[in-house]
Structure 1
Amino acid sequence: MGKLFNMFWSFFKIGAFTFGGGYAMVPLIEEEIVEKQKWVSKEEFVDIIVLSQSFPGALAVNCSTMVGYKIYGIAGAIVTLLGAILPSFIIMLIVAMYLMKFRNNVYVNAAFKGINSAVPIMVLVAIVSLSKSLSKGTMTFIIMALSLVVLLFFDINPIWVIIVSALFGVLYYGRGEEK
């Protein structure tokens, strides 16, 4: 029971203190489950993030469920899922109850502007952290650069970039060119 509570509390803290959605949560999730708790390795964490992105739903919710399942099966998945979503649920209830009173409060608006300013940096930290575990071959950097250019300068859905990158990966890396 203690391990389940520890899992719940870890994801409750992550859910409670992260603003900005899934990618902003990645550094906190990584710190908690890889560095502090050592529930998964860095490589497993990257795999979990990739799988979490490929399923519908919020990244942090999918990630928490996968980590919980890996550690403690179905009970772990349920506990970590609840830990990840309860803070948002509670915060939304409180906000909904009191929003009209504070909607025009200059301090509340200023606090949210400050939070919004920090979120892109948290996403950047997640990108840097996840890129450390990528293979360091030339082709990896070419795929990254082409993906960036296509996403920034062309009106192409990111799903197509993922599909094309996956197909290229199968064709290139599947031949054993680069291990």
Structure 2
Amino acid sequence: MNNLIRMFLIFIKIGTFTLGGGYAMIPLMQEEMVEKNKWISEEEFLDILAVAQSIPGALAINTSTYIGYNLFGFMGAIVGCLGTILPAIIIMSTVSVYFIKFENNELMNTLFKGIRPAVVALILSGVVKLSKSLPKRAIFILWSLGTVICIVLLKIHPIWIIIGSALMGYMKFKGEIDYDTKDN
């Protein structure tokens, strides 16, 4: 029960102090769940992110729900989800009441512009941390670079990338692709 409450408070903290959405929350979730509390391994975290990204819904909510379920079953899923969404509900309800008053406020606009680089940095730090746990094989590096090129330059919808990645994973599982050879 103590760990369930602790997880709830961790997700409340992450949800309260992370601006920029689910991707900005990833490095904080990784730090709390993998590094500090050692509740899940780096590999499990990557698998959870893959599943959370592959199903409909917000990444942060999917991830916290899956982590909660993985750790504490159904009750953990509820607690993880609530811990992530409660801060947003409270903050957005409060902001919406005052938004019209501050909509054209130069100070507020300047503050939000100042927050943007920090959000980008949080997302990039998550990418760097997660990329370190990938096997250093040419196939993974090429697949990652190809994904970025397909999404950013070729404007291919991410769902096709997810489907392609799932097919590669399936072929690996069936033994049709050997990721572990040094030639790949």
TM-score above 0.5: yes
SS of the counterpart of 2:40?
A: coil
1:123 aligns to what?
123
1:3-14 correspondence runs (5 A): 3-14=3-14
1:41–1:168 CA distance, 2 compared to 1 (3 A) = closer
| CA displacement at 1:152 relative to structure 2 | 2.3
Letter in 2 for 1:146: G
| CA displacement at 1:155 relative to structure 2 | 2.9
1:163 aligns to what?
163
2:27 aligns to what?
27
| CA displacement at 1:57 relative to structure 2 | 0.7
1:1-179 correspondence runs (5 A): 1-171=1-171, 174-175=175-176, 177-179=178-180
CA distance in 1, matches of 2:127, 2:177: 27
1:165–1:80 CA distance, 2 compared to 1 (3 A) = closer
CA distance in 2, matches of 1:4, 1:171: 37
Q: Which moved more, 1:46-55 or 1:97-106?
A: 97-106
| CA displacement at 1:19 relative to structure 2 | 0.9
CA distance in 2, matches of 1:15, 1:170: 34
- Amino-acid identity (%): 49
| CA displacement at 1:172 relative to structure 2 | 5.5
| CA displacement at 1:99 relative to structure 2 | 1.3
Letter in 2 for 1:86: L
Unpaired segments ≥5 residues, structure 2: none
TM-score normalised by length of structure 1: 0.92
Aligned residues: 179
CA distance in 1, matches of 2:161, 2:4: 38
TM-score normalised by length of structure 2: 0.90
1:165–1:75 CA distance, 2 compared to 1 (3 A) = closer
CA distance in 2, matches of 1:165, 1:69: 25
Unpaired segments ≥5 residues, structure 1: none
Please tell me the root mean square deviation across aligned C-alpha atoms, in Å.
1.6
SS of the counterpart of 2:155?
A: coil
Q: Which runs of structure 1 show a deviation greater than 4 angstroms over 4 or more consecutive aligned residues?
A: none
